[in-house]
Homo-oligomer: A and B are copies of this chain.
Amino acid sequence: MAEKINVGLIGYGTVGKGTAEVLINNKDIIFENTGINVCLKTVADLAIDTTNPDELLAQCEVITNNADDIINDPDIHIVVELIGGYTQAKDFIIKALNAKKHVVSANKALFAMQGTDIYQAAEMNGVTVCFEGAVAGGIPIVRVLKEDLAGNNIKEIFGIINGTANYILTNMEKEGKEFDEVLKVAQEKGYAEADPTFDIEGMDTAHKIAILASIGFNTLIPFEKIYVEGITSIKRMDIEFANKLDCKIKLLAIAKKHEDDIEVRVHPTMVPREELMAQVDGVFNAVEVIGDMVDKTMHYGRGAGGKPTGSAVVGDIIGLARDIVSGATQRTPVLGFKKDYTYYYPIKDIKDIKSAFYLRFSVVDEPGTLAIIATILAKYGISISEAIQPDERAPGESVNMVFMTHKTVGRKLSDALDEIDKSDVVRDKTVAIRVKELI
């Protein structure tokens, strides 16, 4: 008789429903692929009407408002946490691990901020916790780093890992609209939350890169050390200037490992159009990995949504089911490396990182303006690689002067801009956007 693995699902929101849909609608496929009867036994959610379940829930043995009905059920092998947030989610996860159950979660914020407690609880209890769905939705990337690329010294991981921000930037470009206007449409279409702060301010992206960089670099990224800059100050005209410079503006997460330290940062970035990453548009995500042996790989797909994220969650469930049935215990470390070999790198200050910059100065249109700016830039050793002349201007209006700089250290650039922005010729705070080097 086929082995049976029982799954309990806590949280029946978008991803919870998507996960239930994969498990129930593709039950036969999962059986054919594994020889295991992977059964969604119980679904718990405070908001479920247990007397009037939907079509999916009606196929589960137990529907409940109480997560403990899962955690305390001795027949359940794998607990799936999809409620999100910190305190309660963590409480459920730790209790499940202590009950010697394997855990699958898609909770990026929790794992980025308080992952260590969870990894320790899993290890102590001889069980595993998986979180492929926490990063980049349906795109296989967590396991790719832990398994497929495990023979590599990973040098760099970067990508577009927030679909909301990417949707907004793409549509600002395609429709020639300003940020606020596109955000409103994104909210109407369900691509942005009612409170979109985490997505547009880069926090969600930072959570995900913290997880990826921890796995890739065999470390534990201290989340608060990540430099995070969102996309709310990007103007339509910056996207148009980027276009003239053969670039697209993308919200990139970038993690790089150097000899003695690492960089982890999230900010709007000018990406040369010839890079594949520049072609990743709309709600799609992509992660590029550079390893010393494999060179570069890119992994692309839907970064959010119930069914794509459900596909990732179920990929984890299937992996655990195969582990259990084949007799493996803790086959792969939770972060892909053995705890005893955790590296603790200093995180490079954003001001010490070298980069080329896009600069847009909003200045008065009068003789001498360029000289003032150029003199200050020169004083800080910043040289210009390219300039764009504005096409039209009305007399007396402020005018935008756009430059691309050669590589310079962040500190010098910000000192120079502080000085320039104090000058009389400058009307608005200067816009500075880092440029991704070609790799």
Contacts and interface: CB of A to CB of B under 8 A. Distances in A.
A302 interface: yes
Given A293-B21, A294-B302, A26 B152 contact: yes
Interface stretch (A89-97, A132-140, A206-214): A132-140
Interface of A: 18, 21-23, 26, 29-35, 132, 138-140, 143-144, 146-153, 218, 276, 279-280, 286, 291-302, 305, 307-308, 310-312, 314-315, 317-319, 322-323, 326-333, 336-338, 340-341
A21 B151 CA distance: 10
Given A279-B279, A307-B294, A337-B32, A147 B138 contact: no
A218 B302 contact: no
Contacts of A291: 311
A152 B322 CA distance: 16
What 3 pairs between A and B have smallest CB-CB spacing? Answer: A151-B314, A140-B148, A328-B328
Contact of A139 (B21, B280, B297): B297
B33 A293 contact: no
B150 A315 contact: yes
Nearest to A148: B140
Nearest to A322: B331
Centre residue among A18, A218, A279 by max chain B CB count within 10 A:
A279
A122 to B, nearest CB: 15
B337 A151 contact: no
Centre residue among A23, A152, A329 by max chain B CB count within 10 A:
A152
A151 B23 contact: yes
Contacts of A150: 29-30, 33-34, 314-315, 318
A287 to B, nearest CB: 11
A310 B293 contact: yes
Nearest to A317: B151
Contacts of A132: 148
A29 B145 CA distance: 13
B279 A294 contact: no
A294 B292 CA distance: 29
B315 A26 contact: no
Given A152-B311, A297-B300, 12 more contacts: A23-B151, A26-B152, A29-B153, A140-B140, A140-B148, A143-B147, A293-B308, A295-B305, A298-B299, A323-B328, A327-B328, A331-B331
A300 B302 contact: no
A132 B338 CA distance: 24
Contact of A300 (B140, B292, B298, B330): B298
Nearest to A274: B279
19 contacts: A22-B293, A33-B146, A33-B150, A132-B148, A138-B293, A140-B148, A144-B148, A147-B319, A150-B315, A276-B300, A293-B308, A293-B310, A294-B312, A295-B302, A296-B301, A298-B301, A323-B328, A326-B329, A327-B329
A113 to B, nearest CB: 24
A148 B315 contact: yes
A330 B153 CA distance: 28
Nearest to A336: B33
Contacts of A308: 293-295
A140 B297 contact: yes
Centre residue among A21, A308, A340 by max chain B CB count within 10 A:
A308
